[in-house]
Amino acid sequence: MAKIKYVIKRNGATVAFSRSRIVNAIFRAAVSVGGRDKKTAENLADEVIAVLEEKCKPQQYPTVEEVQDVVEKTLIEAGHAKVAKHYILYREERTRRRQKEKPLSEQRSEYIPWAKMWRTLDWAVSHNLNTVEQLNQRIENGEIKEIVAESEAAYAGDINTVSALLEERKDEVRLAIVAGPSSSGKTTTTNKIAHHLGKIGMQFVELNLDNYYFDLEMHPKDEFGDYDFETPQALDIELINQHLHQLLEGKEVLLPFYDFKTGKRHPDQTPLRLRKGDIILIDSLYGLYPPLTDGITDNKVRLYIEPLLQLKDAQGKYVRWTDIRLMRRMLRDQQHRAYDYEKTLTHWHYVRSSEMRNIIPYSGSADFIINSAMPYELALYKPKLLDSFAQWVERYKNDPLRQDAFERATRIFNLLQTIEPYPDDSIVPPDSVIREFIGGLKID
């Protein structure tokens, strides 16, 4: 048992020292460079702890930075140069994110889809839906059904544009990718596009990347017992790329099957060979992640989806897209994965960290960006989620280990308090992207 009982965080808070946090940090860095040896990570963590115990006097607690310095030194001295490099780069990235926000003129903006945002904002202004106050006023005026119709029509317009793009290139496209961060609406969008184009004879074969997950026990796990499977390294990217090349070359492949109940992947389960005219369809968080389609340069269409809501709150700040997706995922996880809302909230920092590194930076490579935001969805989510967010604000306000959850809960709670609620889900069309999260999705 470690002699060190506490560690001092950057904000000065003293929290319990955790061996598992060190193990997880080392294992996460190893996974990022292709390593899967959890036992080695544990042994290295024990070496780190031994060094810390030798350095610290009785009743002296190390800082987070001191712990991380020892991890770096231990990795390098043990000959794990690649793992050490990734760990160092990750620390640098986290440091940059903790720095105070720069003036808008100095911020990096290459990942922001300005043109699409402008069109979305223009639409919101013309429909009196660009502020919470305007949204509330229209709901109070009994216009909720009109808002639904207008919002769904805008989304349908994007679907029609994408379908026309694919139809125009039907003789050359062999791979269609729908990518985007968690709960952006990829599944519904993918199904709608395939259904629409199927009517004109285009044939799609879905490649479900969920079956390429590594066994659950091979993913890093934190001190709360939560697995971090929100990274492209959780998938066997090399095998996916190999299968894509083989399929496009006309060869047969044996697809794996991942059993989510047991957390195990079973290889070589289902044979697949493309027929003439078949288009591989991929719906994935990491569809634009370069190693996934490495070497496949032609004959593909890349789509990116995000709820690009342009809605200002009472303080003049735009509602964050990540907060919309968090609420969506809470509702979906509870319904389809038996996760309670709180588990989704406390896991979200993994989701956000990965998408900032592995999803959003590649959005600029998409051929078209689809907006899945529905201004009316906030009115539906308030009756379902407000009380829970109120509880989390109180529960986590003095918990330094749950600072991320507290900040997100506070921000969303403050937003939902200002929204005019509408508790009747029946206004949502059965084929709406919102049905992917609240249930009842039906695409005819």
Say whether pLDDT at 36 is over 80: no
Closest listed residue to residue 176, CA positions, set 188, 166, 167, 186: 166
| Coil vs helix vs strand at 370 | strand
351 vs 13, higher pLDDT: 351
Asked whether 325 and 182 are in contact (CB, 8 A), the reply is: yes
Tokens describing residue 332:
């979906």
Classify each residue of 29-38 as buried b or exposed e, where b means 16 or more C-beta atoms within 10 Å of its C-beta. bbbbeebeeb
Mean pLDDT, rounded, for 181-191: 94
- Return the pLDDT at 225: 58
Say whether pLDDT at 3 is over 90: no
Rounded distance, CA 162 to CA 189, Å? 10
Mean pLDDT, rounded, for 93-98: 64
Per the prediction, the chain carries an average pLDDT of 87
Only one residue has tokens 């879905």, namely: 206
Phi, psi of 289 (to 5 degrees): -65, 115
Q: In the β-sheet with 203-206, what is the strand arrangement from edge to edge? A: 203-206, 278-284, 175-179, 300-306, 368-371
- Return the pLDDT at 102: 42
Say whether pLDDT at 107 is over 50: no
Rounded distance, CA 301 to CA 226, Å? 35
For the stretch 279-302, pLDDT in tens is: 999 999 999 988 899 889 878 999
Residue 420 CA to chain centroid, in angstroms? Answer: 28
Looking at residue 12, what DSSP letter applies? S
Closest listed residue to residue 97, CA positions, set 356, 350, 344, 351: 356
Say whether pLDDT at 105 is over 50: no
Only one residue has tokens 């999803």, namely: 359
For the stretch 209-218, pLDDT in tens is: 999 998 887 7
Say whether pLDDT at 59 is over 60: no
Which residue spans within 147-259 are E strands per DSSP?
Answer: 175-179, 203-206, 253-259
Asked whether 9 and 20 are in contact (CB, 8 A), the reply is: no
What the chain holds in terms of domains, given with CATH numbers, is: 6-98 (no CATH), 125-438 (3.40.50.300)
Per-residue confidence at 88, pLDDT binned at 50, 70, 90?
A: confident
Asked whether 222 and 28 are in contact (CB, 8 A), the reply is: no
Rg (CA), the chain: 24
Looking at residue 362, what DSSP letter applies? G
DSSP secondary structure string, 276-310?
TTEEEEEEETTTT-GGGGTT--SSEEEEEEE----
Amino acid letter, 143: E
Say whether pLDDT at 109 is over 60: no
Per-residue confidence at 104, pLDDT binned at 50, 70, 90?
A: very low
> Is residue 102 exposed (0-12), middle (13-18) or buried (19+ Cβ within 10 Å)?
exposed
For the stretch 317-371, pLDDT in tens is: 999 999 999 999 999 998 877 789 999 999 898 889 888 888 998 898 899 999 9
- Quote the pTM value: 0.77
Tokens describing residue 61:
């607690």
Q: Which residues, including other chains, have CB under 8 Å from residue 313's CB and lie 6 or more apart?
A: 131, 132, 319, 415, 418
Amino acid letter, 199: K
The residues pairing with 305 across neighbouring beta strands, listed in sequence order, are 370
